[in-house]
Amino acid sequence: MWRLGRLHRGRSCRPQSPNPFNPRTTLRFELPDAAYVRLTIHDVRGRLVRTLAVAAFPRGAHGIDWNGIDERGADVASGTYFALIEANARREVMSLTLVK
């Protein structure tokens, strides 16, 4: 789980579950205050694969599912992907592995 906010320093993310995943995983994060959140998935070359959230979220714990589908609606290949979350002027990255 990501814990994001002005009171947290350093890397504060924990492994998502399941990881490796097939066919879906839930990306969990916690906000100490309401925040505008952007959550995206990228491949190992840094290319955008999928935008999962661009919205305001209230304080508290949240989870967003990713089903291994890209922006075009196609299944992505097995491999390593990176979830990038931006909130409260912070950026955190977590590695995810899709195994088919």
Please report, for the chain, the start and end positions of each structural domain, with discontinuous segments joined by +.
2-98
Has domain 2-98 been given CATH number 2.60.40.4070?
yes
pLDDT in tens, 31-65: 888 999 999 999 999 999 999 999 999 998 899 99
Beta-sheet strands, E only, within 1-100: 2-3, 25-31, 35-42, 48-57, 60-66, 79-87, 90-98
pTM of the model: 0.84
pLDDT bin (cut points 50, 70, 90) of residue 20 is confident
